[in-house]
Structure 1
Amino acid sequence: MRRILVGYDGSSYSQKALDFAIDFAKKYSAKLYIVEVIDLTVFYNAGILPPLEASKLLEEKAKKDIANAVEKAKAQGVDAEGFTLEGEPANMLLQFATDNQIDVIVVGSRGLSKIQRFFLGSVSNKIAQESKIPVIIVK
């Protein structure tokens, strides 16, 4: 267990996943890769380009989220690096894991109801179903 990926977006669920991943990284002296994916697919799926202001705001938020998360991990003695990506979150996290030889993926649960999950799915569910490496979903 040398490389741990945590999907992060600043939400309470991703905060819990980050805390878990930090503890996990400490236990295994692993490097922590903290990744936030900027999801503009709602615009693209509607056939429109996202407003430039929206893109910039989301990018600024993601960079701030990642900087804070990396700082938190490093303050606890964990080797951590942060990344912001753009695209569909599950696909981007899975691709990042493959490209960076990640050993385990840690993500937060969105807490969707069973009906919402049936119709919408979730990032954590898609990652768990499609990943070729272990996935830990933190609730």
Structure 2
Amino acid sequence: MNQNLLWIEKLKFNEQGLIPAIAQDYRDGTVLMMAWMNYESIKKTLSTGEAHYWSRSRSQLWHKGATSGHIQKVKELFYDCDGDTILLKVDQIGDIACHTGARSCFFNAVQIYPQSNFLNSYSCSKRGQ
């Protein structure tokens, strides 16, 4: 194996040979998307400087933005302390990462209630049953 690829041996791929990858805007830190990578997509990403993922639905290599033009130029690549997640810091061309046309795939906000209010309303509703 190429000396520059030895770090890949530290990664923990799942049973399907995949590892989750988070794409983050390298300028402002916005989390853009999550996708899956395999050994082949990691090598392709490193050799081209553009993000390549593994499409589970199509069972094939996926060059992000090849169709839409919204490619991701990879500025930095990290793996976490457990070796089970990859972080790609990218320059998102066109400022659109999501297939919906949104900048980020993470646009569905969930209301977080203070714990005491949530627990009080939960216990009150349970008592009413």
TM range (shorter): under 0.3
Greater helix content: 1
Output the TM-score relative to the length of structure 2: 0.24
Greater strand content: 2
Higher relative contact order at CA 8 Å, sep ≥6: structure 1 or structure 2? Answer: 1
